[in-house]
């Protein structure tokens, strides 16, 4: 079934991940869909549906605003048409990554994330110490007319390379290998919206 994903984006994504372990693609999805997703994120926030994100997992999960300050809500299929379209596009991307890299990616999990002004997420890796299923991280930004002086960049620390700052501009998708790229979210002067998720391998 056709999705909103432009198939011409797949070769550069695959090449980037193979060569450098990360890929940044602007205009990843149609602008109209990106705006719908941003609107849905704001509506959920206004209703109080986004909860403070925790650090860790299982019994060790705890909210630590000194480490991360975003508010999140996980996506579930069938809740909203625009979200379902986003999930369908990411599933097509999952299939392409499997075909190119034989990663055994079984699913994709994702949540809305809203960072209020001044909040941040300290430097970290996306893979848990006791769970290695998260393989490729994906961040899709929903912020119209973002300016560099508003902050909020995602800062990547490529091994042996220069630090890279990616502004959270609407329509930009950032992919990177979850276990290999430390990163942090810098504070912003306005609300910072995204869909953040992970392509996961099957549990052993």
pLDDT in tens, 162-202: 999 999 999 999 999 999 999 999 999 999 999 999 999 98
What's the average model confidence in pLDDT over 121-149? Answer: 90
- pLDDT at residue 90, as a whole number: 98
- pLDDT at residue 130, as a whole number: 61
Contact yes or no for 85/33 (Cβ under 8 A): yes
- Which CATH code fits 7-52+67-201? 2.60.120.620
- pLDDT at residue 54, as a whole number: 60
pLDDT in tens, 26-73: 999 999 999 999 999 999 999 999 998 765 555 544 545 557 889 999
Torsional class of 78: left (φ above 0), alpha (ψ -120 to 50), beta (otherwise): left
- pLDDT at residue 61, as a whole number: 46
Residue 147 tokens, joined: 């300016």
CA contacts within 13 A on the Cβ side of 132: 5
Q: Sheet containing 183-185: which strands, arranged edge to edge? A: 121-124, 183-185, 154-156, 164-166
Q: Which of 129, 187, 173, 185 is nearest to 22 (CA)?
A: 173
Q: For residues 7 and 28, give the distance between their C-alpha atoms in angstroms, rounded to a whole number.
A: 10
pLDDT in tens, 90-117: 999 999 999 999 999 999 999 999 999 9
pLDDT in tens, 13-30: 999 999 999 999 999 999
Which pTM value belongs to this model? 0.93
- pLDDT at residue 129, as a whole number: 64
Q: Which of 103, 120, 108 is nearest to 83 (CA)?
A: 108
Beta bridge partners of 72: 51, 113
Domain layout of the chain by residue ranges: 7-52+67-201
């Amino acid at each position: 079934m056709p999705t909103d994903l432009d198939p011409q984006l797949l070769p550069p994504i695959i090449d980037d991940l193979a060569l450098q372990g990360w890929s940044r693609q602007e205009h990843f999805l149609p602008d109209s869909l990106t705006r719908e997703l941003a609107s849905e994120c704001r509506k959920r926030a206004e209703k109080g549906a986004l909860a403070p994100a925790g650090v860790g997992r299982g019994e060790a999960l705890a909210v630590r605003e000194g480490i991360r300050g975003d508010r999140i809500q996980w996506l579930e299929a069938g809740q909203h048409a625009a979200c379902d379209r986003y999930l369908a596009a990411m599933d097509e991307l999952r299939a392409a990554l499997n075909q190119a890299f034989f990663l055994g990616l079984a699913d994709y999990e994702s949540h809305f994330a809203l960072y209020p002004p001044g909040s941040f997420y300290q430097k970290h890796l996306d893979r848990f110490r006791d769970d290695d299923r998260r393989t490729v991280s994906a961040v899709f930004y929903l912020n119209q007319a973002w300016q560099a002086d508003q902050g909020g960049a995602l800062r990547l620390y490529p091994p042996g390379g220069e630090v890279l700052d990616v502004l959270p501009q609407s329509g930009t998708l950032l992919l990177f290998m979850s276990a290999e790229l430390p990163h942090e979210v810098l504070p912003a002067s306005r609300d910072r919206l995204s869909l953040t998720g992970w392509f996961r391998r099957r549990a052993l």
